[in-house]
Amino acid sequence: MIQLNDICIYLTVNGRALVSGLSFTLNPADRTVIIGEEGNGKSTLLKLIADPALIADHAEYTGSIFKGGHRIGYLPQELTPDEAALPISDYLALDESSGWLAEYTAEELGLPAELLTETRPVSTLSGGERVKLRMVKVMLSEPDMLLLDEPTNDIDIETLEWLEGFIRRFRGGVLFVSHDETLIENTASAVIHLEHVHHKKVARHTVANMPYREYIERRERAFSHQEQVALKERDEQQKKEERWREIYEKVDSAQRSLSRQDPSTGRLLKKKMHSVMSQGRRLEKERESMTELPVTERQIFLDLPPVELPRRKEILRFKTEGLYSPAGEKLTAGFELNADAAEHIGIIGRNGVGKTTLLRLIERELAPRRDIKLFYMPQNYFDLLDGSETPVEFLAPSGRKEDITNARTYLGSVRFTADEAESPIARLSGGQKAKLMFVRMALEGCNVLLLDEPTRNFSPLSNPVIRSILARFGGCIISVTHDRKYLSEVCTRVLRLTEEGLFPADMDQAQ
């Protein structure tokens, strides 16, 4: 087993606590998910367990970690630039003893065995292929405990389903971070919830030995009950205090208007006032002991502006003879894609088939149009973001005072602190960058959205809010996604991109 005792993690730059007093045990049969909002320390916690040296550049910790001699396989969220530049064969560094295991794992993942010995850089693989290759490398050490940081990023639905089965079948313990609610619901038997409350000044956590959906439902019921009790107590307290003030004012008024020639009444009023003041002190103590209102980490208080477009307005009539990779390889046969104003279209398909390429071509076609207002959210946020800019500078490039104020207000609605709003974008987590994209989308008031994996970096707690906002959006949405809940809750039409073209997808199969 892996055992953590009283773990506290602090950011070196400002001493802010990411994790405070966390203790838990990961047993060989456990499937435990770490959830929490963006920037709450989920990845830092996994790195600490894998190797404390991995957090030395930005955080410090106290407490103890017992690993019990386990072989731990750690899948970080991203490749380093040096790893991405390596030839595939050098990245895996296979020998005779590890080659068979690599081929077996690759076959399970749907990777061709010949890919393992190719000399092209890892960076040339599609996002999903890179994740699969990294899983092959992790399994080469034959681990009996797995730490997986966002293994679902960039992988297609078929691979997501494989990953769910893999996590369930793995003989050791699995501790993982994921934004894919369906995968969490289908695999996690326990939950570690990291929260930052009171304007991110207080770190707290919950360890729950129950499936994710049960945890969320119990938590919501408990908070709802606590809120009802707290509000009822406050209402009753307010009535008591109002009655007390009425009595106090009457006694006080009587004392002030009392004649000096009536000492007997004066003594009675003084005694009465003493009793009233004692009652006031009791009411103060009652207020201190009242049930607290539940404090939760609110995710997003933001909506997209209302959109007015003729319902049958044709937004897109796209036709191609086929999609091609940057190297000139033909990916698909020709097809057409038409979209009307009120449609929310979801595009699915295996990794590497050209979904992002298609979205970029659509963006190129729609961008010059003056009868629509387009927003394109790329999969790689740095296609739009400058890492050296601050969020405020990105949202208010004019530098005008009113624009800056508006930007800060919007950032506050997605829980950016003042420090985060003025820090370089490069320091933000993936989820915070996604929120920044969403704020820009809201500020620009667009009526056509092109979204490449829009929910991939939002937490499972933020994602329901994002899906609800997009489902209500009155304009056109064309999105590439592997998020099965997004497909069912947001999309009015789902299409599958294959080598043969673009075809309607069965909604049940898409999920």
Question: How confident is the model at residue 295, as a pLDDT?
Answer: 61
Distance CA 67, CA 86 (A): 31
Question: How confident is the model at residue 104, as a pLDDT?
Answer: 85
Question: How confident is the model at residue 504, as a pLDDT?
Answer: 93
pLDDT, one tens digit per residue, over 431-452 is 888 899 999 999 998 999 999 9
Q: Is the pLDDT of residue 365 over 90?
A: yes
Mean pLDDT of 178-196: 93
pLDDT band, residue 124 (cuts 50/70/90): confident
Task: Give every strand in the sheet of 493-498, ordered side by side.
Answer: 374-377, 448-452, 476-480, 344-348, 493-498, 501-504
Q: Is the pLDDT of residue 493 over 80?
A: yes
Mean pLDDT of 10-27: 92
pLDDT band, residue 299 (cuts 50/70/90): low
Question: How confident is the model at residue 16, as a pLDDT?
Answer: 87
Question: How confident is the model at residue 507, as a pLDDT?
Answer: 57
Question: How confident is the model at residue 161, as a pLDDT?
Answer: 87
373 or 267, higher pLDDT: 373
pLDDT band, residue 177 (cuts 50/70/90): very high
Query: Which residues make Cβ contacts (< 8 Å) with residue 158, sequence separation at least 6?
Result: 110, 350
Q: Taken in order 346, 166, 43, 357, is the CA torsion positive or negative?
A: negative
Query: Which residues make Cβ contacts (< 8 Å) with residue 278, sequence separation at least 6?
Result: none
38 or 54, higher pLDDT: 54
Question: How confident is the model at residue 305, as a pLDDT?
Answer: 87
> Above pLDDT 70, what percent of the chain?
97
DSSP string for residues in 43-79: HHHHHHHH-GGGGTTTEEEEEEEE-TT--EEEE-SS-
> CB of 174 within 8 A of CB of 18?
no
Q: Name the nearest CA neighbour of 433 among 383, 483, 490.
A: 383
SS3 400: coil
pLDDT, one tens digit per residue, over 325-362 is 877 889 999 999 999 998 999 999 988 899 999 999 99
Residue at 473: amino acid letter? F
Residue with tokens 């894609």: 337
Q: Is the pLDDT of residue 316 over 80?
A: yes
CB atoms within 10 A of CB 391: 27
Question: How confident is the model at residue 284, as a pLDDT?
Answer: 86
pLDDT, one tens digit per residue, over 55-106 is 998 899 999 999 988 899 999 988 888 898 999 999 999 887 788 888 888 8
pLDDT band, residue 261 (cuts 50/70/90): low
Residue at 383: amino acid letter? D
Looking at mean pLDDT, say which of 138-147, 255-264, 278-287, 415-424 comes out highest.
Answer: 138-147
Mean pLDDT of 358-384: 92
> CB of 159 within 8 A of CB of 351?
yes
Report phi then psi at 330, rounded to 5.
-75, 125
**What pTM does this model have?**
0.80
Looking at mean pLDDT, say which of 382-386, 426-430, 475-479 comes out highest.
Answer: 475-479
pLDDT, one tens digit per residue, over 128-154 is 788 889 989 998 988 999 999 988 877
Residue 64 in tokens = 């103890």
pLDDT, one tens digit per residue, over 400-423 is 999 999 999 999 888 888 888 998
- Compute the radius of gyration of the chain from its Cα atoms: 29
pLDDT, one tens digit per residue, over 91-101 is 999 887 788 88
Mean pLDDT of 314-331: 90
Distance CA 204, CA 19 (A): 7
Q: Taken in order 499, 504, 507, 509, is the CA torsion positive or negative?
A: negative
